[in-house]
Amino acid sequence: MELISKSNSINHLIIGASRGIGRALVDISIEAGNQVYALSRSAPENEREGCKWITADATQPDTYMDSLPEKINALTFCPGKVILGPIKRLKAEQMLQAYQTSVLDAFTVIQSLLPRLEGSIALLSSVAARTGLPNHCAISAAKSALEGFAIALAADLAPKVRVNVVAPTLTPTEMGTAMVGGEKMLPMIEQRHPLKRIPAVTEIASTLAFLHSAAATSITGQVLKVDGGLSQLRLNS
C-alpha cells in the first residue's frame, strides 16, 4: 500500500522504527519512494538503504532536530510501554510510566515538530483502549488518553495537518508474542477473535501508511480498529 506515488515523494518521520510495526512501516514507506527518517533509541539490526537512521531519545528533540528536514509530510509515532497486571499488583509508578510513554512522549515530539509538520500524523493505540480486558488497566488508561489527545489535536491542527490513530489487537511482534507467553499461545488467542485470526505486522503498518496516503486526505480525527472484530462483534457459539 503506497503512501503516495513515487513522483510525489514525501518526507516521512517514523519514531520507534527499529522493531515491530515501526520497522515494517520503514520498508513500506521506502518502497513507496519516500524519504524516510527513522528514529529509535537503539540502531536496528539491519539498516535499510534509502532510510536515514537516527539514534536518539525521542523525548529530547534538541538532540536530533538538526538531522531532520525542514518539512515533515508524515509523522508516525509508534512507542508506548505495554504494562500488564491486575489492579491489586499495579503500582502508581507503572500507571504513570504507561501514560508517559504513550501520551506525554507523543505530546513532546509533536509540539517540538509543529513548525515543520504538514500533511498527517498517525499514532498507535490498542484495542484495549475501548475494550475491557483483564490485566490491562495501565495500557487501557494510557491508550484511551492517547486517543482523546489525538482527536483534540486533529481539531487544533486542521486544516493543515490531519491526525489519526490505529488501534490494533495483539500483533505478533517480538514484544507482543513474548507478552502472551510465546507463539504457542497465538492459535488460542486467534480463536477469541470473530475473524479467527490476528493481523500480521505488515497489516498494521499498511494501515498506518494508508492514513498518510493521498487516498486518506479527507480522514482526520479517526480511530481505525484493526482487531479482527474483537472490539465490536459477538458471535453465536
pTM: 0.91
Tell me if 225 is assigned to some domain: no
Percent of the chain with pLDDT over 90: 73
Q: pLDDT per residue over 56-75, tens digit each?
A: 999 999 999 999 999 999 99
Mean residue pLDDT of the chain comes to 91
Q: pLDDT per residue over 110-141, tens digit each?
A: 999 999 999 999 999 999 999 998 999 999 99
Tell me if 35 is assigned to some domain: yes
How large is the average pLDDT for residues 131-154?
95
Residue 196: pLDDT band by 50, 70, 90 thresholds? Answer: very high
Tell me if 10 is assigned to some domain: yes
Tell me if 155 is assigned to some domain: yes
Tell me if 94 is assigned to some domain: yes
- Report the C-alpha gap between 14 and 26 in whole angstroms: 7
How large is the average pLDDT for residues 165-175?
83
Tell me if 44 is assigned to some domain: yes
Range of the domain at 104: 6-170+200-219
pLDDT at 185: 73
Tell me if 21 is assigned to some domain: yes
pLDDT at 177: 66
Please name the residue that has the C-alpha cell 536496528.
Answer: 44
- Report the C-alpha gap between 30 and 205 in whole angstroms: 13
DSSP-derived secondary structure letter, 217: T
Is the pLDDT at 210 greater than 80? The verdict is yes
Beta carbons within 8 Å of 192's beta carbon, 6+ residues apart: 230
Strands, sheet with 72-77, edge to edge from the N-terminal-most edge strand:
51-55, 35-40, 11-15, 72-77, 117-124, 161-168, 222-226
- Phi/psi for 83 (5° steps) reads -120, 120
pLDDT at 2: 44
The CATH number of residue 15's host domain is 3.40.50.720
Q: Which three cell numbers stand for residue 209?
A: 501508511
Tell me if 22 is assigned to some domain: yes
Q: How far is CA 105 from CA 15, 56, 110, in A?
A: 11, 13, 9
Residue 190: pLDDT band by 50, 70, 90 thresholds? Answer: confident
Residue 106: pLDDT band by 50, 70, 90 thresholds? Answer: very high
pLDDT at 173: 67
Is the pLDDT at 50 greater than 90? The verdict is no
- How many domains would you assign to the chain? 1
